[in-house]
């Protein structure tokens, strides 16, 4: 699914002998292109939509993509989940910074996968410790 926010034109279009009620415009085209770029079960949104929902819905930054009919790359995001109470008792941990994105649902991890997750987090921390940042 692809979602975009913006102004568009809605109404009856065509000739007197054949009218269609439809929606047209740049924003509609972008939503359609996002839908074409999404995988099954995935929701991709534009930056315009993200800026309106980011406090309510968790999204993963997917970077910029080239979109047919648009002269500049378009920033897109993948919808992850509704934001929950991220207090101390929450099973969710979420952090996003330039070059770093983490979404963890501890309730979604099985006991047999717990060590794999810890190992992945430790490996990432080790790479960061070893990295010389200029």
Domains observed in the chain: 1-83 (3.30.70.1230), 84-134 (no CATH)
**Which of the pair, 121 or 97, is modelled with greater confidence?**
121
- 21 burial type by CB count under 10 A (0-12 exposed, 13-18 middle, 19+ buried): exposed
Of the pLDDT bands very low, low, confident and very high (cuts 50, 70, 90), residue 69 is: confident
Number of Cβ within 10 Å of residue 119's Cβ equals 10
Give the confidence band of 55 by pLDDT, cuts at 50, 70, 90. confident
Assessment of whether the complete model's pTM goes beyond 0.75: no
Mean pLDDT, rounded, for 9-24: 89
Of the candidates 1, 69, 81, the residue with the CA atom closest to the CA atom of residue 37: 1
Exposure letters 73-92 (e unless 16+ CB within 10 A, then b): ebebbebeeeeeeeeeeeeb
SS3 21: strand
- DSSP annotation string for 43-87: -EEEHHHHHHHTTTEEEEEEEEE--TT-SS-EEEEEEEEE----S
Residue 111 has pLDDT above 70, yes or no: yes
Span 85-106, pLDDT tens digits: 655 556 777 777 778 878 787 8
* pLDDT value of position 42: 92
- The pLDDT score that the predictor gives to residue 48 is 94
DSSP state letter for 24: E
Distance CA 64, CA 59 (A): 14
């Amino acid at each position: 699914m692809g979602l975009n926010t913006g102004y568009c034109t809605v109404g009856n279009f065509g000739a007197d002998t054949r009218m269609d009620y439809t929606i047209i415009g740049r924003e509609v085209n972008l939503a359609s292109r996002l839908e074409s770029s999404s995988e099954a079960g995935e929701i991709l949104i534009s930056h315009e939509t993200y800026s309106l929902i980011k406090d309510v819905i968790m999204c993963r930054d997917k970077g910029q993509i080239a979109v047919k009919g648009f002269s500049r790359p378009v920033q897109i995001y993948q919808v992850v989940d509704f934001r929950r109470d991220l207090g101390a008792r929450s099973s969710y941990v979420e952090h996003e910074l330039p070059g770093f994105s983490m979404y963890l649902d501890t309730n979604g991890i099985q006991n047999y996968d717990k060590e794999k997750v810890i190992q992945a987090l430790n490996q990432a921390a080790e790479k960061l410790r070893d990295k010389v940042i200029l």
